[in-house]
Structure 1
Amino acid sequence: MLRSAVRPDDRTFPFALHAAAAAVASAEDKGLELHASALRRGHLADVFTGNTLVAFYAACGKACDARRVFDEMPARDVVSWNSLVSAFLVNGMFHDARRALVSMMRSGFPLNVASLVSVVPACGMEQEEKFGLSIHALAVKVGLNTMVNLANALVDMYGKFGDVEASMRVFDGMLEQNEVSWNSAIGCFLNAGLYGDVLRMFRKMSEHNVMPDSITLSSLLPALVELGSIDLGREVHGYSIKRAMDLDIFVANSLVDMYAKFGSLEKASTIFEQMKDRNVVSWNAMIANLVQNGAETEAFRLVSEMQKSGECPNSITLVNVLPACARMASLKMGKQIHAWSIRRGLMFDLFISNALIDMYSKCGQLSLARNIFERSEKDDVSYNTLILGYSQSPWCFESLLLFQQMRSVGIDYDAVSFMGALSACTNLSVFKHGKEIHCVLVRRLLSGHPFLSNSLLDLYTKGGMLVTASKIFNKITKKDVASWNTMILGYGMHGQIDIAFELFELMKGDGLDYDHVSYIAVLAACSHGGLVDKGKKYFSQMVAQNIEPQQMHYACMVDLLGRAGQLSECAEIIRDMPFPANSDVWGALLGACRIHGNIELAQWAAEHLFELKPEHSGYYTLMINMYAETGRWNEANKIRKLMKSRKVQKNPAYSWVQDQDGNKLQAFLVGDG
């Protein structure tokens, strides 16, 4: 146009700037040239040009430049103000947008639908409930609340506030409703977790002859997952295929998630592979569901493929894949993800720091977990993760110290916090402190919580308080396998073998199937009672029920036979095991050899234990004592030298005391000055 010597008029620059704003990624420089040209030719006095410049800078992410253009405009209209408000909202500057809207009203410009329709959703996103209510009141006052697009925004806003009743009042009061209205109402119920109402609204939508779109289906499918309605999910999938919506990215993402959560991983993978366009949500949904279905290796492969395809993993990706590292005990992979999160500046994300704490805790690296905990923002999940990690370690007292610290920083306990603290009390044998926690649970009406009831059973059975444990057990309305197993283990451990066997039989009568732990419990009871034949019978019964014996089952059998002096049969069992024996099995054999003075088999067991647990001082000490008792001083000295060369030290003992008020715990390492 310029080359043809045709002068631009007051409409040329707005049209060109509008095109530059639409293609901002590749045309930002061109937009700046147009601004300079409009300035030189004196077109900035035109309101239309100024408004388009404000929109252009907003699209470029330069809200301050948009404001500067606005301030320099000699004349403004409603569109100018609306463009400024939108510029702030597009760039996440809600409070500036709010001030601009108020200034607009004070300047005497009449509000229109465009003035409010962008601000209302932002109120919902920012949880600005008071301002949102003011906007609604203003819309009613000026008669704009009947406009369908503003009413839709109000339905969505109240949904984000969690005020379902207000959202439905707006929806039911609408003079006309379109598919966006119904989608907003469905989204409101979905956000509130009212999944049955999501399905009801979908059916009502069909009754009103409003055609569902991709947003409708992508909202409905997660609700069907929560309702456990796989058949309805398949029907919705079929409907999406008929309407050619199954490859829409939102619908496809929801379908991948639905099938994977229902355990149909193959179907989820098929849909994922058929997607022509994938976004980060698509990859995250597939990775998360691979992890949830135990396909950790495939999940790691998919993260690599995701990056090769040009999609960058985000915080959700890392939060999804870190539990896989914990489950596979893949500390190396976990550290790589940790390093990657630092490089990408994601370490300050609370979800990632919590996932890293969990990963390191489950990999036994509690010092690394604690390091992240101390450097990060903390919430109840942060505390609970570390409390649980310490409760299963030799440093259980740290769990109780964190439990107390949690309250002092103003974070309230939940069921997981109490579970971790009770587990620590059990492992430390501090039963008085455990009873105090029990009292707190009773006051908070939490003692009937299934997981907490089982934790209390574990505390009291291991503390030998079987009468109290029995009372708690009898009060549990829905006993699960863990409840029965804990009681069987408890009675067997304390020599009340007949009651343990009786409970084992009653468990079957209660309609529950035995699991691996049930047989560990009953085999342990046989071992404590010296009932070799009965133990063999239960072991055979387990195999007959297609429960594959695990390491602990073999450890129980070695312990049972070893206590009875049948050491050659113990050795035979270990040789016939379908997999290499672990430290539990070899430890059981070593303990039996110690009882019966069989030093040859003890040497065999010790060789494996020194290899499997080279840092465990107890095995070295036991062999030193056995050699010393038989006068084999050379061998005893060799073990001492081996300990020294491996820098093995006896595990330090800890004591802990409570202050006079009972509010604070202090741990002491034996030998500290």
Structure 2
Amino acid sequence: MKTRVAAQEIIKSQAFEPQNLSSDWFYCIRNCIDQKKPKSAILIYSRYHGNGSIGLDSIPSVLKACASLFNLCFGTALHCESIKSGVEGDVMVGTSLVDMYGKCGDIVSSRNVFDYMPERNVVTWNAMIGGYVRNGDMGSAFGLFEKMEGRTPVTWNEMIGGYGKNGDMAMARRVFESVPEGLKNVVTWTVMVDGYVRNGNMEGAEEVYEVMPERNFYVCSVMVSGYFRKGDVVRGREFFDRMRSRNLVCWNSLIAGYAQNGMSAEALDAFTNMRGERFEPDEVTIVSVLSVCAQSGMLEVGKEIHEMIVDKGIDLNEYVVNGLVDMYAKCGDLGNARLIFEGSPSINYATWNSLITGFSIHGHFKEALEFFTKMEVSGIKPDGVTILSVLSACAHGGLVEEGLEVFSKMEQYGLTANTKHYGCVVDMLGRAGKLKEAMDLVEGMPLEPNDTVLGSLLGACQIHSDTIMAEKVLELVGKLISDHRSHDDGHYVVLSNIYAACERWETAERLRAVFADKGSDIIPGCSAIT
């Protein structure tokens, strides 16, 4: 007992000083895992395993930490160490290696360890099957499943959940129906319901839900989340109200559901009611409420939530940090957004996107470009949202050369430009008066230009009163209309406005008259310029 207390004190103080007994470190590392602090577990092991303070019995726990962080590099190093130390053949070490490799996506290494293990237990088999399931290889998972003796509820649940995640609900139901009666527990039923919900089949989910012998909080929250995800907020609320008792998970599903459907007032009302029933928010609750504040521009409420995070000591994980940065950025408080961003070690690509997008939409174009450059240097790969935000900043800030350079980097990052990206570049070139370059880009697009792209180019023609280029654009619009891919008379309204701006009144009126005769609802003064 004294050893465990000493280990806990080490964690609290974070003063990693070696103890006299290696068991101190064993419990210390285990406690880090239990407290969901995998980085601390790896830090302790990497600092002190070389001086004999930490025994080899800690390897399975550290491998578990590697798996939770997807840290394949350190996990592979531990594998090498276990081979040198002669403990690779231990069933717990081997099983942890199988699990670590599978969760890190190296399924080949996972199978190699599995095949060469001198001894396996049901946990080993489940880890290998789970690895295949996680990597979407249901064929290999089923092959092992058929060979496995002594299947446990975990085995059956892995297979049912795997088929559900891969969209094969017929096979998921077949496996579910085959579960021996003594092994079909509430988790098995819940996994089946979750599979239907995941695939948008709420009728199938409700059918299974209604005949469940017993229910837990989680399955109820799954049903609530499923209906909200499909936009059926009334049915989702009905399910929530049917619950005789609720826990925090249920409330989180309701609040997140309202947030996802843009129902800010309802989400905040649910948050207030949750606290009225003496449920304290966790990280999941906080992220949903911050999202509501960001959507609605409720900066003062967002600040109150920020104070709550500090007062209650809620963990500032990457999701909470991203929620705070996103809320402050969208509400226009870019100073606080930047302070939180720069003061947090928990930064992922979504957090970068939130800050860059915030700079872009609030007119801080150079800062958006500056942080994009920092993102590249940091080693975090930008995605399509990042590029779109930076291109928008360059378009509105007149940073044409910089924008074209960013656009050219998409292929370098393995990204494929969509019509939004092309529309943004066309808008950027058009605003700068480079109409020919914009037209060349449109004509060379590997995609069919849509209303957004052509509308951007037409808007630029209107700004620069270029009727010749506008008529060329209208030829492309005509092709879209003839192919029944578009029927936006607004483009012709813009062309009419361009003729009017050039004082070609007869042509402008003639164009409007033609479309008036066709019954088009043309509103005078309509413009594609934003």
Is 1:156 the equivalent of 2:130? yes
Is contact 1:124-1:158 (8 Å) kept? no
CA distance in 2, matches of 1:290, 1:517: 35
1:362 to 294, 313, 330: 330
Is 1:433 the equivalent of 2:402? yes
2:166 to 170, 191, 195: 195
Is contact 2:459-2:528 (8 Å) kept? no
Shift of 1:180: 2.8
Shift of 1:127: 5.8
3-state DSSP class of the match of 2:323? helix
Is contact 1:334-1:359 (8 Å) kept? yes
Is 1:182 the equivalent of 2:144? no
Is 1:259 the equivalent of 2:227? yes
User: Match of 2:118?
Assistant: 141
User: Match of 2:69?
Assistant: none
Query: Structure 1's 123 and 379: CA in aligned 2 closer, same or farther, altered over 3 A?
Result: closer
Is 1:215 the equivalent of 2:183? no
Q: Which amino acid aligns with 2:426?
A: L
Q: Which amino acid aligns with 1:450?
A: T
CA distance in 1, matches of 2:363, 2:153: 59
3-state DSSP class of the match of 2:366? helix
User: Match of 2:456?
Assistant: 486
Query: Structure 1's 150 and 223: CA in aligned 2 closer, same or farther, altered over 3 A?
Result: same
**Higher RCO (CA 8 Å, separation ≥ 6 residues):** 2
3-state DSSP class of the match of 1:412? coil
3-state DSSP class of the match of 1:141? coil
Matches within 5 A, 1:231-630: 233-245=202-214, 247-346=215-314, 348-377=316-345, 378-442=347-411, 446=415, 448-474=417-443, 475-477=445-447, 479-495=449-465, 496=467, 497-499=470-472, 507-511=480-484, 525=498, 528=501, 556=525
Shift of 1:375: 1.5
Is 1:171 the equivalent of 2:145? yes
Query: Structure 1's 267 and 441: CA in aligned 2 closer, same or farther, altered over 3 A?
Result: same
CA distance in 2, matches of 1:520, 1:354: 42
Q: Which amino acid aligns with 1:152?
A: N
After superposition, the C-alpha distances for 1:35-75 in whole angstroms (9 at most, x for unaligned) are xxxxxxxxxxxxxxxxxx99xx89xx8999xx999989xxx
Q: Which amino acid aligns with 1:262?
A: K
CA distance in 2, matches of 1:180, 1:292: 32
Is contact 2:283-2:315 (8 Å) kept? no
Query: Structure 1's 200 and 558: CA in aligned 2 closer, same or farther, altered over 3 A?
Result: closer
Is contact 1:492-1:500 (8 Å) kept? no
TM-score (norm 1): 0.57
Q: Which amino acid aligns with 1:493?
A: I
CA distance in 1, matches of 2:492, 2:302: 34
Shift of 1:305: 1.2
CA distance in 1, matches of 2:322, 2:140: 36
Q: Which amino acid aligns with 1:171?
A: F
CA distance in 1, matches of 2:489, 2:185: 48
Matches within 5 A, 1:72-87: none
User: Match of 2:76?
Assistant: none
CA distance in 1, matches of 2:421, 2:480: 20
CA distance in 2, matches of 1:265, 1:503: 42
After superposition, the C-alpha distances for 1:478-526 in whole angstroms (9 at most, x for unaligned) are 5554334323323333323545655566555454567899799678657
After superposition, the C-alpha distances for 1:182-211 in whole angstroms (9 at most, x for unaligned) are 211344566xxx5224x2541330464656
User: Match of 1:46?
Assistant: none
CA distance in 2, matches of 1:121, 1:307: 43
Query: Structure 1's 447 and 323: CA in aligned 2 closer, same or farther, altered over 3 A?
Result: same
After superposition, the C-alpha distances for 1:110-157 in whole angstroms (9 at most, x for unaligned) are x999x689968985898698997798468x413x44x4x553344335
Shift of 1:460: 2.3
What is the root-mean-square deviation in Å for CA atoms of aligned residues? 5.1
| Higher Rg of the two aligned structures | 1
Is contact 2:251-2:274 (8 Å) kept? yes
Point out the more displaced range, 153-162 or 118-127.
118-127
Query: Structure 1's 473 and 346: CA in aligned 2 closer, same or farther, altered over 3 A?
Result: farther
Consecutive unaligned residues of structure 1, counting only runs of 5 or more, are 1-31, 33-52, 73-81, 103-110, 548-552, 561-583, 585-673
Query: Structure 1's 326 and 132: CA in aligned 2 closer, same or farther, altered over 3 A?
Result: same
Is contact 1:283-1:306 (8 Å) kept? yes
Shift of 1:439: 2.8
Shift of 1:326: 2.0
User: Match of 2:82?
Assistant: none
CA distance in 2, matches of 1:558, 1:132: 59
After superposition, the C-alpha distances for 1:314-353 in whole angstroms (9 at most, x for unaligned) are 1121211222212211111111112112222337322222
Shift of 1:177: 3.5
3-state DSSP class of the match of 2:167? helix
Is contact 1:500-1:525 (8 Å) kept? no
Is contact 1:186-1:219 (8 Å) kept? yes
Shift of 1:540: 9.3
3-state DSSP class of the match of 2:428? helix
Is contact 2:400-2:432 (8 Å) kept? yes
CA distance in 2, matches of 1:350, 1:517: 44
Query: Structure 1's 254 and 481: CA in aligned 2 closer, same or farther, altered over 3 A?
Result: farther
Query: Structure 1's 371 and 515: CA in aligned 2 closer, same or farther, altered over 3 A?
Result: farther
Point out the more displaced range, 328-337 or 381-390.
381-390
CA distance in 1, matches of 2:231, 2:287: 21
CA distance in 1, matches of 2:171, 2:368: 47
User: Match of 2:57?
Assistant: 99
Query: Structure 1's 337 and 435: CA in aligned 2 closer, same or farther, altered over 3 A?
Result: same
CA distance in 2, matches of 1:520, 1:322: 41
Q: Which amino acid aligns with 1:403?
A: F
Consecutive unaligned residues of structure 2, counting only runs of 5 or more, are 12-18, 46-53, 61-88
Query: Structure 1's 259 and 134: CA in aligned 2 closer, same or farther, altered over 3 A?
Result: same
CA distance in 1, matches of 2:156, 2:427: 51
Shift of 1:362: 1.5
3-state DSSP class of the match of 1:487? helix
Query: Structure 1's 518 and 255: CA in aligned 2 closer, same or farther, altered over 3 A?
Result: farther
Shift of 1:267: 0.7
User: Match of 1:10?
Assistant: none
TM-score (norm 2): 0.71
Is contact 2:102-2:132 (8 Å) kept? no
Is contact 1:85-1:97 (8 Å) kept? no
